[in-house]
Amino acid sequence: MNPIPDDTESRYDHIFRNALIYDGSDSGPFPGEVAVRGDRIAAVAIQGTIPVGAAREEHDLKGKALAPGFIDSHTHDDRIVLDSPGMLPKISQGVTTVIAGNCGISLAPVTFEGNPPPPMNLLGGREAYAFPTFADYARAIDEATPGVNVAALIGHSALRLATMSNIEARASEAEISAMLDRVDEAMDNGAAGFSTGLFYPTNAGADAGEVARIATRFAERGGVYATHMRDETAHVLDSIAESVSTAEQARIQLIISHHKCAGVENWGRTRETLPVIKAAADRLPIAIDAYPYDAGSTNLRLDLVTDVFRIMITWSEPHPEVAGRDLSDIAAEWGVDLHEAARRLDPAGAIYFLMNEEDVQRVLSFPLTMIGSDGLPHDKHPHPRLWGTFPRVIGHYARELGLFPIEIAIHKMTGLTASVFNLEDRGRIAEGFFADLVVFDPSTIVDRATYEDPQLFSAGIEKVFVNGRMSWVAGATTVHRNGRLVGRRSA
Ligand SMILES: [Zn+2]
C-alpha cells in the first residue's frame, strides 16, 4: 500500500469501514469499505485496504448496511421540494432522489387564472403554479437546494391545460404543436420525460394518437414515459395494451405507474396482467412502479365512493376537522348517505382500501417492478406511504415476510430505477458514481407510519448522504440540503 500523499487533493472526505455493501445490483451484499471524495464515490475496496487517516471523517459501520440512496420512482413532490425543501418524510427513509411530475400532473409548465382543476389541485392552488416554463421551475429548484435530488417529468395534463381551449376534447393539430414547443423547452432545460394520467378528466380526452405524438417528441429528446393508465379496474388489460402500443409507436421507455387491479371484482387479476407486461417487455423496455400497501389515495371522487371497501378522508377544504376519519363514520354522524357526505366534503382527498394483499405482493415481487411511494405530501392526514414506503419494503416484505432477499428490495429502489430513468451515475455503489448513500440496520429497519398515525419516522435508517455530504442522521428534524435537479440536460 502506498503512503497517502500529503496534498489535500487526494484525501477523501468520508470513509465507511466495516460496511455490509448492497451495491444496487441484484446480487448479494459483501463486506468492505467505501471512500467518498467531493460528490463522488472514489473507491470501493475490501476491508482494511483504505489506509487509516485518509479521510476527514471516518464512519465505522460495525457491520451495518451501506446502500445507494433510495430513488422514489413515483412522487408528487414537485412543490414540496420548494416549500419544505428539507424533504424530511423522504430523506428519513433513506431516499436521496425523487421522480416528480407523475400521473400527468406537474408544476411546470402551466399557470392558472382560477383554481387548478382536479387532479392538479393535489399540488396546491393557483399560487403554487408559478412556472410558465420548465426553466423557471429548474431555477427554483436550484435556488431551493432541496434535501434530495429531483428528476422531473412533464405532465400531459399540465401541457393540455396550458395549451387547450376545451380540455375534454382531443387536442387539435395547433394545440399539439403548442404542446411540442413546451416539450422542447422542458427537455432543453433538464426535464426527465413525460407522464400521463389518462384516468383523470384533464387528460382523459387525449386519445392514444395524441399521447403517441407527444411521447414521440419526448423519446427523440431522451425522455421516458410514465402512465397512470386510463383504467385500473375492469378494463385494465385494455389499458395495458394501449400503453404498450403508445410506447411502441413512440419508441420510448414505458413505466406503468402504481400498478394495481382495483376493486373487489378485479382482485387476483395481477395473475393476468403481469404475464402480459412480461411478454411485452420482450419487445420494448417496460418497468412498473408500486407502493407496498393495499390502499390507494387521490382526490375524493364520487365515482369511487362505495360501501364495499373502507374510505378514509385525508383532507377536506370545507371540513378540515375530519381528516383522518372514515367516510362511513362521518356520514353516520351527519345522518346522511356516503355520497351526500362526500359531496359535503368536496374538494377533499381520500384513502381507498381497494386492493388485495396477494396482488400487492405479486406486483412487488415482479422483476420489472420499482418501488415508488406515490405519497401526497400536502395532505393533512396523508397515506402512510409518504413516510414509510422504503423501510416497509425492506423490513416488512423482504426481512419479515421473505418475499424476496434484501438485495432485491434495494435493487428495486436503486440500480433498477436509475437505469429505467436514465439517471446518470446514480443508483449504484461503484467508483465514479455519485455518493448518494444510506446507512441502515438490516435487522431493525421497518416502517412505523400507519393509517391512524401516518407521519412517523421509520426505524433503522441511521445516516443519509446526498451528493457526498452528510444530510440527515437518525432522529434529526433538520436536514442539511444538498440535492439538485438531475436527469437529462441537453448540451
Ligand atoms: Zn397516479
Closest CA to 292 of 198, 390, 216: 390
**CA 66 to centroid of ligand 1, rounded, Å:** 31
The pLDDT of residue 53 is 81
Residue 343: which residues within 8 A CB-CB, separation 6 or more?
Answer: 302
Distance 436 CA to ligand 1 centre (A): 27
Report, as an integer, the average pLDDT of 17-37.
97
How far is the centre of ligand 1, averaged over its atoms, from the C-alpha of 226 (Å)? 10
Distance (Å) from CA 105 to ligand 1 centroid: 9
Close Cβ partners of 203 (under 8 Å, ≥ 6 residues apart):
104, 156, 157, 160, 196, 197
Q: Is the pLDDT of residue 418 over 70?
A: yes
Instruction: Dihedral sign for Cα 314, 320, 324, 329, please.
Output: negative
What's the rounded Cα separation, in Å, for the pair 415 and 370? Answer: 10
Q: How far is CA 285 from the centre of its chain?
A: 19
Name the residue ranges covered by the structural domains of the chain. Answer: 69-303+351-425, 304-350
Q: So what CATH class is 69-303+351-425?
A: alpha beta
Residue recorded with cell 500529503? 6
Location of C-alpha cell 375524493: 300
What does pLDDT average to over the chain? 96
State the Cα–Cα distance between residues 4 and 24, nearest whole angstrom: 29
Compute the distance from residue 329 Cα to the ligand 1 centre, in Å. Answer: 27
Question: What are 93-126's pLDDT values in tens digits?
Answer: 999 999 999 999 999 999 999 999 999 999 999 9
Give residue-wise pLDDT tens across range 451-462. Answer: 999 999 999 999
Q: Are 106 and 155 in contact (CB under 8 A)?
A: yes
Of 164, 186, 199, 222, nearest in space to 422 by CA: 222
Cα(191) to centroid(ligand 1), Å: 19
Q: State in Å: Cα 372 to ligand 1 middle.
A: 11
Residues with CB under 5 A from ligand 1 (ion): 103, 228
Look at residue 10 and tell me whether its pLDDT is greater than 90: no
102 Cα–ligand 1 center, Å: 7
Share of the chain above pLDDT 70, in %: 97
Residue 11 burial class via C-beta count within 10 angstroms: exposed 0-12, middle 13-18, buried 19 and up: middle
User: What mean pLDDT do residues 315-330 have?
Assistant: 97
Interatomic CA distance for residues 449 and 484, integer angstroms = 27
Task: Give the pLDDT mean for 263-282.
Answer: 97
257 C-alpha to ligand 1 centroid (Å): 6
Q: Is the pLDDT confidence value at 248 over 90?
A: yes
Q: Distance, CA 155 to ligand 1 centroid (Å)?
A: 11
The pLDDT of 408-430, averaged and rounded, is: 97
* Structure confidence at residue 7 (pLDDT): 47
The string of DSSP letters for 202-264 reads TTTT--HHHHHHHHHHHHHTT-EEEEE-S-SSTTHHHHHHHHHHHHHHHT--EEETT----SG
Amino acid code (one letter) for 235:
H
Residue 357 CA to residue 311 CA, distance in Å, equals 17
Instruction: Output 11 or 455, whichever has higher pLDDT.
Output: 455
Q: How far is the CA of 91 from the centre of ligand 1 (A)?
A: 22
pTM: 0.96
Residue 414 zone, left/alpha/beta (φ > 0; ψ -120 to 50; rest): alpha
- The pLDDT tens digits of the residues spanning 365-387 come to 999 999 999 999 999 999 999 99
Per-residue pLDDT tens digits for 341-358: 999 999 999 999 999 999
CA 475 – ligand 1 centroid, Å = 31
pLDDT average, residue stretch 387-404: 98
Closest CA to 117 of 191, 203, 182: 203
Distance, CA 456 to ligand 1 centroid (Å)? 24
Q: 467: CA distance to ligand 1 center in Å?
A: 29
Task: Give 385: exposed, middle or buried? Use CB within 10 Å, 0-12, 13-18, 19+.
Answer: buried
The residue type of 51 is P
Q: How far is the CA of 103 from the centre of ligand 1 (A)?
A: 4
- From 47, 98, 43, select the one nearest 69 (Cα to Cα): 98
**What is the spatial distance between Cα 293 and Cα 329, in angstroms, rounded to a whole number?**
23
CA–centroid distance, residue 107 to ligand 1 (Å): 15
**Composition of the chain by helix, strand, coil, percent to 5:** 30, 20, 45
Distance of CA 42 to the CA centre of its chain: 28
198 alpha carbon to ligand 1 midpoint, in Å?
A: 9
Q: 491: exposed, middle or buried (C-beta count within 10 Å: 0-12, 13-18, 19+)?
A: exposed
How close is the Cα of 377 to the center of ligand 1, in Å? 14
% of the chain at pLDDT higher than 90: 96
User: In one letter, which amino acid is 390?
Assistant: F
Tell me the CA–centroid distance for residue 185 and ligand 1, in Å.
Answer: 24
Q: Is the pLDDT of residue 3 over 70?
A: no
397 CA to centre of ligand 1 in angstroms: 23
What are residue 3's DSSP bridge partners?
none
CA–CA dist 149, 151 (Å, integer): 7
Cα–Cα nearest to 20, from 347, 372, 440, 436: 440
pLDDT confidence of residue 54: 85
Amino acid 1: pLDDT: 38
Per-residue pLDDT tens over the stretch 52-102: 888 999 999 999 999 999 999 999 999 999 999 999 999 999 999 999 999
Q: How far is the CA of 14 from the centre of ligand 1 (A)?
A: 39
- The rounded Å distance from CA 296 to ligand 1 centre is 9
For residue 75, the CA-to-ligand 1 centroid distance in Å is 9
Q: What's 113's DSSP letter?
A: S
Q: And the C-alpha cell for 422?
A: 436514465
Q: Indicate whether 427 pLDDT > 60.
A: yes
Domain 304-350, CATH: 3.30.1490.130
The CA distance from 446 to 391, in Å, is 5
DSSP secondary structure letter of residue 453: S
| CA of residue 74 to ligand 1 center, whole Å | 9
Q: Does the pLDDT of residue 328 top 60, yes or no? A: yes
